[in-house]
Structure 1
Amino acid sequence: MKNDIPIKKVEGVGLAIVPAADGFWDVYLLNLKKEPIKQLIVSARGYGRLNDKEVETANIRYYFEEVPPGSFQKIEPLHKDLVQMANEYWISFLWKDYMYDRKYVFVAGSIQAAYFTHIPILDELGVLIK
């Protein structure tokens, strides 16, 4: 049955983490497409070593009805301590009547100024996965 379902590659959608106030970071979904994406579901979790202990955060889910073309949707603030761990975001959305999904993983140590790039749409510096 799995072979009957075509798996289409996610394109034109990115995830960015940018520094915010008070040592927090903000996580954004970027819709770089020329059409809206709909019924966006995001599952977020963090895992790894923190203060010499293995830690796993709660799995938090978010829902957004629509993200307009060429825009962004803030997903969540990320505490400064959690950027040391791996942060995983599994997204699912409808586009042109097809359900797409993709896992984005910011590996431990990747959320830092050394990996900053210009984030389109936000016009800020941060870490981007497209």
Structure 2
Amino acid sequence: MKKDIEIPKVKGVYVAVVNEYNDIYKTQDWNAYIINEKDVDLEMVIIVTDGYSENKITSKFRKKIDVLPKKSYAKIELMQEELFALNNQFKVSFFEGNQMFDKTYLFRKNTINLKALQSVPLMDVKGVLVK
């Protein structure tokens, strides 16, 4: 029976952490985004995030996005810099058509920093990207 279960690979969906200026509070903030580079909309996107290390664990944060249109992105959460000393994982589940997809994106501890910035698809900004 297990051999009959097909778990499709997630392609074209990424998570990025971007350092950007906050006009309201006049600060540089780190924000996490989900990016849909596919040519189809994603439906019922569920994101569960948490951070952990050998002796610390954060509370879970959950976010639901009804529809993430094709070739678009959405903000997941504001991230405090203290969290970067932990492994930060984003568990993402969504429907594409009638098929469910699931993937865990992991930012290992201390990998989110200004030296690790790279181009982020669709957003025209630099950030730390996990594919």
- When the two structures are superposed, what TM-score results if normalisation uses the length of structure 1? 0.91
Q: CA deviation at 1:71?
A: 0.3
Deviates more, 1:2-11 or 1:72-81: 2-11
Supply the AA of the counterpart residue of 1:109.
N
Counterpart-to-counterpart distance in 2, 1:2 and 1:60: 31
Q: Deviations over 1:61-102 (max 9, x none)?
A: 111101000000111110111122110000000002100000
User: Number of residue pairs matched?
Assistant: 126
- When the two structures are superposed, what TM-score results if normalisation uses the length of structure 2? 0.90
Aligned to 1:55: 56
Q: CA deviation at 1:23?
A: 4.7
Counterpart-to-counterpart distance in 2, 1:56 and 1:91: 19
Which stretches in structure 1 are left out of the alignment for 5+ residues?
none
Q: What RMSD, in angstroms, separates the aligned Cα atoms of the two structures?
A: 1.3
1:28 and 1:75 in contact (8 A); partners too: yes
Q: CA deviation at 1:15?
A: 0.5
Q: Deviations over 1:11-50 (max 9, x none)?
A: 010000011343531000000001100000001000127x
Aligned to 2:111: 110
**Identity score, percent:** 32
Supply the AA of the counterpart residue of 2:98.
D
Which stretches in structure 2 are left out of the alignment for 5+ residues?
none
Q: CA deviation at 1:109?
A: 1.0
